[in-house]
Amino acid sequence: MRKNNWIQRSGLILVLACLILAPCAFAQQQEPQVDLPEIVKKNSLSGKLQIGIHYGPWTLKPFSNYFEDDLLQEISREIRERVNNAIFKGIDWGPLVTDYDDELVFGTSGYNFGVEIRFYPKGPEGSFSLGFSVERTNIKIKAEGPINQYYIKGASSTVEGLGYITTSPLTMNLSFRWDTSPSWRVSPYFVTGFGLATLLGEVGYEWTGSYQYKNIIEQTDGSDILTLEEVEWQIDENIPNIFYLFQLSVGVRARITPNFYINGEIGFWNGMVFRAGVFYGF
């Protein structure tokens, strides 16, 4: 009788053990195989970041056609006033001037340099990227040439004049780029963006020439440099301190190695900019 009870108890323990261990064994068989390197690679920034530098010339042409005539007149006026102040030394020269003419020529020059980080949300195969850059754009706008003035009693002055505006804004920029064929070795792209900076710079005037009255000839020359703040006070007008920048460019990117790229682009950057760059992908 005791033997049968022991057998029954042993059978019951065995059944309970099977019921407990079976789900565990089933769970181990159903547990998927996890490839940790693949998950890390998929969720990391590998292949999604690029960092690079770019450089190129900057110019206001052809946009300067819309305002250069007004600027030439203003620079001519400022130089003529300074020449007359130097010649007549405190005398009211207004009534003495009868006419003037000038042959000032407008010019603009500059260059753009920047460091840029681009993020490709879908990696190297994605066409869209978001960029952040820090840029320095050196800008010089000038007018130079001969200026003649005519005074009463046949007196006259002739000088070579130069007037210029220089500024070197350091801008923080956000840009959006679309590569048309990211899988190709050479791919065209389109960029749009904007930036902000503090506007700092100076305005300068220079002249050298002579004043003639009958047989008397006197040499005259000089220069004057003003900050934008001083110009603002002089003309009694507010010059915005914030420099806004808008970008619209097209370019071509070439893949040299899986991680190394070069590119060239042309576009609007508050003027025309032509620049080339090198980028490294991580």
How much is the pLDDT for 244? Answer: 87
Distances from the Cα of 138 to the Cαs of 34, 42, 161, in angstroms?
Answer: 54, 42, 23
What is the predicted pLDDT for the residue at 270? 87
Q: Which one is the CATH code of 47-281: 1.20.1090.10, 3.40.50.1860, 2.40.160.20, 3.30.470.20?
A: 2.40.160.20
The token pair that represents 7 in the structure block: 């057998």
Interatomic CA distance for residues 148 and 80, integer angstroms: 9
Mean pLDDT in order along the chain per 10 residues (282 residues): 46 44 44 48 73 95 86 95 94 95 95 96 91 95 97 96 94 96 94 91 96 93 91 75 90 95 95 95 90
pLDDT at 232: 80
Number of alpha carbons in the 13 Å side-chain half-sphere of residue 47: 12
Q: Where are the domains of the chain?
A: 47-281
For residue 275, list its beta bridge partners.
265
Determine the 3-state secondary structure of 81 from DSSP.
helix
User: What was the pLDDT predicted at 43?
Assistant: 54
Cα of 126 vs its chain's centroid, Å: 24
Q: What pLDDT sits at residue 42?
A: 52
Tokens of 59: 């110019």
By residue count, the chain amounts to 282
Give the model's pLDDT for residue 28: 43
Q: Distance between CA atoms of 99 and 202, rounded to whole angstroms?
A: 30
Here the tokens at position 169 are: 């804004």
